[in-house]
Structure 1
């Protein structure tokens, strides 16, 4: 078999699980077993890091028990978590699997998108959020779906493009208190365009929200942010209007918020660095994007 195709994947979290599920969908039983193994291991380790579970073994003993450095993997490594005390956390490092006749080496990276931007990889999975935060141009009109993203990327800035989204269900959603929303009004983009006042968002999402809503809609709007340690939904309830991630919207409703328009998917995406593409990476990309409704047509 030819040299493995290296693919950058997140080290932990929802984007890694989404990437593993996509690889399992096209890679057969071995890829499915790997996805199940890695996902269950990292969920267990997350529970230990958060203090929701305990293991009498030390972190190095668990690391040795999980990893298979002599075989096809998976292998794991340690990072410092950002929780209080910065505990060590076990995260994904690498594995070899076969996908549609391709030998694939999965390589864990903290931010795969940036690894593609620096030409370390031709293919990788990461959150679409990071693309919007870093390279999508800000224009008067906003973005509503993935199909608009590649056209907003300056080719002088990066060779990375989105190939497809993986259909994650988390979305950036407008939220407001009933007092902020006039009777009979729809909580949508047009409401924000007519609105003047504070809009509560997570600090890291400022540029992302500007790209999604467009600069015209944000005239007269002032971004405000949650206090340290404060839930975003609670901060939005205090502010009156905001944008945050939702799955079911249950937490927002607990804070008395009305859920409005789903603005943009916070979706895991398959990306390609076009300058590093080869026949093998293009063939693998086609296989990974097969049967996905959000696959983007090449430019």
Structure 2
């Protein structure tokens, strides 16, 4: 049986989206639910919102007892909480096995030619490799057109549909009329964003619209929505928008989907990888890989 190794995040929404897609295809929903619930529990332990008597070593041993289908790992990165995260898992697709391999940064693992296929947030692709142009980048389908072929061999195959959006938010005193890219183009002043999203915001708003704009960032231990309310205008990932409204903010244009995407290093993939792409992403939803 041929095996397909695929890089996936060690935790978070992108990993859950991958597990959900494979569980839907194979029917192994209980297994996916077990992994997701365990990782969410460990996140709560790390954040102090869940009390636990067992040591981390005892919990790891308990998770491993009698389990041959997946493994977990204790994150040991310097400067980070040592949280239990995803390590590896094997899915049986009949004529193929899919071996999910946890990586802190799957996109970068593909860029280094360690894998042919992987899953990561579309945000990371925008932050690292898309070209910045005067016109805005509006959709996942346009990402590959903005990737310099001399920069990387990795391309976006398609999204998994676990979509939340980078959204324009503004205080009512600032937003007058439509809150969209055209508003930003006419605006002069501060725009509050998360520090790591500077290139992403430049890509999805367009460089021309940002003339006269100064990026500001939330202070330590300050909620993004509160910081945006102080600045007057900002960009933040929203799900329902309820927290933004609690801070008195107006929700504007959805600028770009923050979505888990299937990535391919076109110089490493082969026929067996095409089999997995068909399983995960029907041909009518896939993007042309250039």
Q: Which TM class, normalised by the smaller chain length?
A: over 0.9
> Cα offset for 1:220?
0.9
What is residue 87 of structure 2 aligned with on the other side?
A: 93
Pairing 1:121-200 to 2, within 5 Å after superposition: 121-182=115-176, 185-200=177-192
Q: Which consecutive residues of structure 1, in runs of 5 or more, have no partner in the other structure? A: none
> Cα offset for 1:107?
0.3
> Cα offset for 1:23?
1.4
Between the aligned partners of 1:152 and 1:7, the Cα distance in structure 2 is 24
Q: Does 1:295 align with 2:262?
A: no
What is residue 27 of structure 2 aligned with on the other side?
A: 29
CA contact (8 A) 1:100 1:284 kept: no
Return the match for 2:52 from 55, 63, 71. 55
> Cα offset for 1:194?
1.0
- State the Cα deviation string for residues 120-153 of structure 1 (Å, max 9, x = none): 0001110000000000000010111101100000
CA contact (8 A) 1:34 1:74 kept: no
> Cα offset for 1:236?
0.4
SS of 1:276's partner is: coil
Q: Which consecutive residues of structure 2, in runs of 5 or more, have no partner in the other structure? A: none
CA contact (8 A) 1:23 1:99 kept: no
Pairing 1:178-257 to 2, within 5 Å after superposition: 178-182=172-176, 185-257=177-249
SS of 1:61's partner is: helix
What is residue 263 of structure 2 aligned with on the other side?
A: 271
Number of residue equivalences:
290
SS of 1:119's partner is: coil
Q: CA RMSD in A?
A: 1.7
> Cα offset for 1:255?
0.5
Structure 2 length-normalised TM: 0.96
SS of 1:139's partner is: coil
Between the aligned partners of 1:275 and 1:6, the Cα distance in structure 2 is 15
Structure 1 length-normalised TM: 0.93
CA contact (8 A) 2:166 2:237 kept: yes
SS of 1:88's partner is: coil
What is residue 65 of structure 1 aligned with on the other side?
A: 62
Between the aligned partners of 2:89 and 2:159, the Cα distance in structure 1 is 23
